[in-house]
Structure 1
């Protein structure tokens, strides 16, 4: 009875030990990738904002092959799931391009120039930026457009 229970417990704990060792190895591999992932994220923010979705994917694939990283996921690296859910709650569409754009806008190297014919980004930006500062939206057809820029 007791001996069998003890052996069963030891067997279960050794399985748990293996799982923990695997998890430590995964975390260690992830830590080793952080510098290259940060470089790729900086490249996305700096260079890919003006590219279409398919062009971004092609450029990221090219960069991944150069760094031998496997698959770099810009959205996962730059955000938490709770942030993405908040984006959606604030009116941002849930597609990958919109989420990438939101992350690029939140981490700019320069003041972003946003072309938004559907006004989806504008609605989201008003909510997002309006939390901490006043927001001025200027339409292209307004006379003050050039002065506002």
Structure 2
């Protein structure tokens, strides 16, 4: 009886080892993939940061050209490990966030997702060329709970300066609609994020006052 029990245990152990062989192969493959991603992480971050910093003014085709022929090639030239087919849209934002943006009205195409990334992750406040009002409608839904009581404003609103100062001092989003090719110089320091440090606060500078 003891010999049979031992044999049964040996058989069970052998079967367990065999069943785990597939897992061992998968774990080994995952470990190699994670090591490769870790090695390329600095380069991928550099490429993605460059995308956010420089891609805003360009269309989808030229953004690809900028990434492949300039940013990526520069990383390769400097021997910086980087993912050759890196997609900033999937590197910088997860599926859940994209799904949320889609539910708020942002289109699902890659260009729109890129624009969503630029709006939410760029360090400067964005100036959007939006002839179909897609971005505008998305932002209105996205920031509905955060807007000041008056909601959005326009470039020719008589109290635009006061609205800007209130929104910036209170940390509120402000959507200025109907901006044309000629901008009020008052907006220059805002778009350029021209601020000075006073204590722990960033103070907005303009031509008249802080």
Q: TM-score, normalised by structure 2?
A: 0.63
| Cα distance change of structure 1 residues 147 and 60 upon mapping to structure 2, 3 Å threshold | closer
Work out whether residues 64 and 72 of structure 1, in 8 Å CA contact, stay in contact via their aligned partners in 2: no
Name the stretch that deviates more: 4-13 or 78-87. Answer: 4-13
1:61 Cα offset (Å): 1.6
1:6 paired residue number: 13
CA distance in 2, matches of 1:49, 1:28: 32
Instruction: Find out whether 1:51 has 2:58 as its counterpart.
Output: yes
Structure 2: 5+ residue stretches without partners? 1-6, 77-81, 149-173, 188-210
1:131 Cα offset (Å): 3.7
CA distance in 2, matches of 1:40, 1:128: 27
| Cα distance change of structure 1 residues 59 and 114 upon mapping to structure 2, 3 Å threshold | same
2:184 paired residue number: 146
| Cα distance change of structure 1 residues 66 and 8 upon mapping to structure 2, 3 Å threshold | farther
Higher helix proportion (structure 1 or 2): 1
| Cα distance change of structure 1 residues 97 and 22 upon mapping to structure 2, 3 Å threshold | same
1:91 paired residue number: 105
| Cα distance change of structure 1 residues 13 and 93 upon mapping to structure 2, 3 Å threshold | same
1:5 Cα offset (Å): 3.9
Give the counterpart of 1:64 among 64, 67, 72.
Answer: 72
Higher strand proportion (structure 1 or 2): 2
2:44 paired residue number: 37
1:64 Cα offset (Å): 2.8
Runs of 4+ in 1 over 6 A off after TM superposition: none
1:118 Cα offset (Å): 0.2
| Cα distance change of structure 1 residues 131 and 27 upon mapping to structure 2, 3 Å threshold | farther
2:175 paired residue number: 136
CA distance in 2, matches of 1:77, 1:148: 36
1:76 Cα offset (Å): 1.1
Q: What secondary structure is seen at the aligned counterpart in 1 of 2:184?
A: helix
Structure 1: 5+ residue stretches without partners? none
CA distance in 1, matches of 2:143, 2:46: 26
